[in-house]
Amino acid sequence: MARNICIIDGHPDGDPYRLIHSLANAYAEGAAAAGHTVTRIKVSALDFPLLDSIADFETPPPEPVLSERNKIAAADHVVILFPLWLGGMPAKLRAFFEQAARASFFIGPAKEGAHWPAKLMEGKSAHTVITMGMPGLVYRFGMDAGSLKALERGVLGLSGFKPLKHTILGGMGNVSPERYAELCEEMRGYGASAA
């Protein structure tokens, strides 16, 4: 069954030779070849301010975030790719999520009689892909995959994305051409199956 997929390329560096950009491109190629509809958000190409007040959080975000988040709203499946920086997602990607969340986009006011915010992204699934120089097992167990858990339990989990999938790609500091090709092929496969 064809799905509407939104790919969020969270690398803040616009250099087209960054691994994250290649993985996002490969996912998009696989998805399009399988007949899925693909939209993309390139965080590196967006210019927006940092969010710094509750008053601003309660109002819609400025452009271009306002238009870009419509791609998330229209999607059945969201793919988020980013490099691990200082143990977490890059600040610009975090800032994008904060801006996108404005004006009750991900979660809304609790329904009558409920004590928990309304999950406005129910019915959507998500896949997070994180690259890093350290071994993936060190991140997963030594660092407890903290930024991944924060994303999955915070933004994605609280807003209703389900199921959640993730791919941790460690040891990406020096990728051989053969490994690069394997990684891109893996992403094409995920894209084809909308996983």
What class does CATH assign to 4-193?
Answer: alpha beta
pLDDT > 90? residue 187: yes
pLDDT > 90? residue 113: no
pLDDT > 90? residue 111: no
> What pLDDT is attached to residue 124?
98
The chain-wide mean pLDDT, for the chain, equals 95
Across 116-147, b (16+ Cβ under 10 Å) vs e yields: ebebbbeebbbbbbbbbeeebeebeeeeebeb
In the chain, pLDDT over 90 holds for what percent of residues? Answer: 89
pLDDT > 90? residue 142: no
